[in-house]
Amino acid sequence: MLIGGFVVTGSGPKKVLVRALGPTLTRFQVPGALANPQVELFQEQTFRGFNDDWRNASNSAEILASGFAPPDDAESAILMTLDPGNYTAIVRGVAGTTGVALVEGYDLDSSEPSKLFNISTRGFVQTGDKVLIAGVVVNGPDNQIVL
């Protein structure tokens, strides 16, 4: 299980895409990639959404139009407009399978009054090819402070 957390801050809703990737990682020679990831989204303890195979989502056309649809049909995505609060995305393998996965969050509405703020990840950390890696991408022409 891989857990990714994030916070929506501000006074209004924010359109967010959460992706769970596995098969795509094999294109980058990542050994042991999770063959079929699924993702659940919670706000605090309240269930907000689930997806297994992003093309089966009721809003798959919107996911595709976002420009961030998962490259593989077996990967998962949830695109929702979220109110300010604390969120957790939980990635698991379908039918209890295991492997290396990637959880990502995308801010699809960079306008005010809300921001996608704070990322955190929880996963099992090992050595070699099984280390836990975190990353962040900052878009736009201006420098940003990242802690």
Q: What is the pLDDT of residue 110?
A: 77
Mean pLDDT (the chain) is: 89
Say how far apart CA 136 and CA 105 lie, in whole Å.
10
Q: What is the DSSP letter of 60?
A: H
Average pLDDT on 102-131 reads 79
Q: 66 pLDDT exceeds 90?
A: yes
Place of tokens 């990682």: 25
Q: 47 pLDDT exceeds 90?
A: yes
Residue 102 contacts by C-beta under 8 Å, 6 or more apart in sequence?
Answer: 19, 20, 21, 22, 24, 25
Q: What is the pLDDT of residue 139?
A: 64
Q: What is the pLDDT of residue 22?
A: 95
**Domains of the chain (ranges, CATH numbers):** 2-130 (2.60.120)
Q: What is the pLDDT of residue 24?
A: 97
State which H helix or E strand residue 61 sits in.
Answer: helix 60-65
